[in-house]
Amino acid sequence: MARVHVNIPAHTHFEASIPVRITDLNYGAHLGNDALLSILHEARLQLLKHFGYSEMDLGGASLIMADVAISYKGESFYGDMLTIRMAFDDLNKYGFDISYQVLNQDGKEVARAKTGMLCFNYKARKLMSLPDEVKAKIETKA
């Protein structure tokens, strides 16, 4: 069976630190896959806030997730402090990818992930172009 491969760009736009909570554990007593996706969501919100945006206001657009890929590299446990290194990548007419490299407090890689984010108009229920202001800001910080 082919495995998911997530490339991590050489550049990083932002790092977030997020602890693993007791409620993030699964029956194997390690970080659950559903909890990791929630942690990535929190990290993404911090990244957007760092740039002055939110998921509902990205320079006049909103964001919707088109896809997600996660490649697990190791376990994480209660009390771990995760560092999530994020980068915008593959900017296009309608959005971009965000890559995530998740490390524990010892620098051990826990996971790699990518989310495909598209600009969306929730009132019209349709895609919209990535605002030029956002594209310029992302490219300048790369």
pLDDT in tens, 28-50: 999 999 999 999 999 999 999 99
C-beta atoms surrounding 98 within 10 Å: 25
**Residue 108 pLDDT exceeds 70:** yes
Q: How far apart are CA 98 and CA 134, in angstroms?
A: 14
Q: Give the model's pLDDT for residue 1.
A: 82
Do 88 and 12 contact (CB within 8 A), yes or no?
A: no
All domains of the chain, ordered by start, with CATH? 14-141 (3.10.129.10)
**Residue 91 pLDDT exceeds 90:** yes
Q: What is the pTM of this model?
A: 0.95
Q: How far apart are CA 132 and CA 130, in angstroms?
A: 6
Place 141 in a pLDDT band, splitting at 50, 70 and 90. Answer: low
Q: How far apart are CA 45 and CA 75, in angstroms?
A: 24
Bridge partners (DSSP) of residue 92 are 95
60 conformational bin, left if phi > 0, alpha if psi -120 to 50, beta if neither: left
